[in-house]
Structure 1
Amino acid sequence: MEQIPLEHILLLSALLFSIGVFAVISKRHAVVVLMGIELIFNAANLNLVAFSRHDPALLQGQLFSLFVIVVAAAEAAVALAIVLRVYQYFKTAHVNEVVSADNK
């Protein structure tokens, strides 16, 4: 079976990371910002697994990737709970409107 070159995997990871950063910086809706953060986590996981696969004797990258997945799941649950509470209080999930309403 032919392996995918490491450079292609790293390029895909960089693309995922860039899309995630763009979503975090440019979008105003809190759920979209959370999705961007998840894309950034997935790009990091892809790098960890790719480098771990590059050196099969070491499994630290795969183990650390599992840890990042657990942290990302916990972060998503807590962040969505916070977004729901903010929505109940401010009646909006747009980050800019919540920040401007807080300053009044």
Structure 2
Amino acid sequence: MIPLEHYLLISAALFCIGLYAVFTRRNAIQVLIGIEFMINAAVINFVAFSKYDKAKLGGQVFALFAIVLAAAGVAVALAIILNVYKYYKTIDPGKIDELRD
């Protein structure tokens, strides 16, 4: 049986990698991937802590809900990124500084 601490260490490492990607990348898609890493770290925590919830499957339900919301968020974010690229010809968030002509 794998102890809870191992799950928490993997989750913390994954969250830190995602946070690093969000703060250091200049590409909107790479920032989106960093956000997904952080969401997956939270999902690992939900599933790891659900081991202590014997009567109900609350952790798995929250994890499934988080995965569905993350997928919907990625679909919307990619649509926005594609439209921004069509207009500005770049996906660097630092170069997109105006909303209108």
> What stretches of structure 1 of length at least 5 have no aligned partner?
none
Q: In the comparison of the two structures, how many residue pairs are matched?
A: 100
Cα deviation, 1:18-54, whole Å, max 9, x if unaligned, reads 0011111111100000000000100000000000023
Aligned ranges for residues 50-65 of structure 1 at < 5 Å?
50-65=48-63
Structure 1 letter corresponding to 2:45:
N
TM-score normalised over the length of structure 2: 0.93
Letter in 2 for 1:37: I
Establish whether residue 66 from structure 1 lines up as the match of residue 64 from structure 2: yes
Runs of 4+ in 1 over 3 A off after TM superposition: none
For structure 2, list consecutive stretches of 5 or more residues without a partner in the other structure: none
The percent of aligned pairs where both chains have the same amino acid is: 55
Identify the match of residue 28 of structure 1 among 26, 29, 37.
26
For 1:73, the aligned partner's letter is A
Structure with greater helix percent: 1
Q: Deviations over 1:35-90 (max 9, x none)?
A: 00000100000000000023333311110110000000000000000000000000
